[in-house]
């Protein structure tokens, strides 16, 4: 498999990002409904905003894919919102970088459930400093902050990591993703 990105891989990554940009905008409704419950239950749904990078990487396991996907999804989200939102772009870049770090640790060779879950956790953790900078966490009581952190971390692992993994696994079953990975021994045996 070539190390550089092909135009087709970049285009598919951007397509994935566009789909997630729409999902991200629609997800605000579910997030706001969950927010009414209090006690930061909405943070359990937060992992949806981390999924573009993980899904794109699991389909096209190459360096840079996660960053491109998350940045494009964040930029697309601002377009769908109808306003340019700098915090969204900052979140997107940092989330994409967090995923890239995890994927680089595994040398961009693992598409395992564990790697997806770790990438989801990393994206959740990288979002906290930005939340603090923009004032979302400054006024939260200690016990409440702990709930906030735990729920978002769980969401990063379960929603962003595990759900992304199973979505891509389902796509793998259809054969749609075969174009982006080298043929396996099973593929050669089937010839």
Kindly indicate the confidence band of residue 185, based on its pLDDT and cuts at 50, 70 and 90: low
Kindly indicate the confidence band of residue 74, based on its pLDDT and cuts at 50, 70 and 90: very high
Domains of the chain: 7-187 (1.10.1760)
Do 156 and 124 form a contact (C-beta atoms < 8 A)?
Answer: yes
As a whole number, mean pLDDT of residues 120-124 equals 97
SS3 content of the chain, % helix, strand, coil (to 5): 80, 0, 20
Q: Please tell me the predicted confidence (pLDDT) of residue 143.
A: 86
Q: Is the pLDDT of residue 71 over 70?
A: yes
Kindly indicate the confidence band of residue 186, based on its pLDDT and cuts at 50, 70 and 90: low
Q: Please tell me the predicted confidence (pLDDT) of residue 39.
A: 79
As a whole number, mean pLDDT of residues 80-104 equals 93
Q: What does each C-alpha distance from 76 to 24, 70, 84 come to in angstroms?
A: 9, 10, 10
């Amino acid at each position: 498999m070539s190390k550089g990105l092909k135009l087709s891989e970049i285009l598919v990554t951007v397509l994935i990002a566009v789909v997630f940009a729409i999902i991200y905008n629609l997800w605000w409704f579910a997030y706001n409904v969950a927010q009414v419950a209090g006690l930061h239950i909405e943070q359990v749904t937060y992992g949806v905003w981390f999924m573009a990078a993980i899904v794109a990487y699991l389909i096209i396991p190459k360096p840079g894919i996660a960053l491109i996907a998350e940045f494009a999804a964040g930029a697309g989200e601002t377009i769908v919102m109808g306003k340019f939102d700098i915090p969204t772009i900052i979140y997107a870049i940092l989330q994409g970088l967090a995923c890239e770090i995890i994927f680089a640790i595994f040398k961009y060779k693992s598409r395992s459930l564990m790697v997806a879950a770790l990438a989801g956790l990393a994206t959740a953790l990288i979002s906290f400093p930005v939340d603090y900078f923009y004032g979302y966490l400054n006024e939260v009581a200690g016990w409440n902050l702990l709930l906030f952190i735990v729920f978002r971390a769980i969401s990063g692992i379960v929603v962003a990591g595990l759900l992304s993994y199973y979505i891509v696994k389902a796509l793998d079953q259809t054969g749609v993703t075969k174009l982006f990975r080298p043929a396996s021994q099973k593929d050669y045996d089937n010839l």
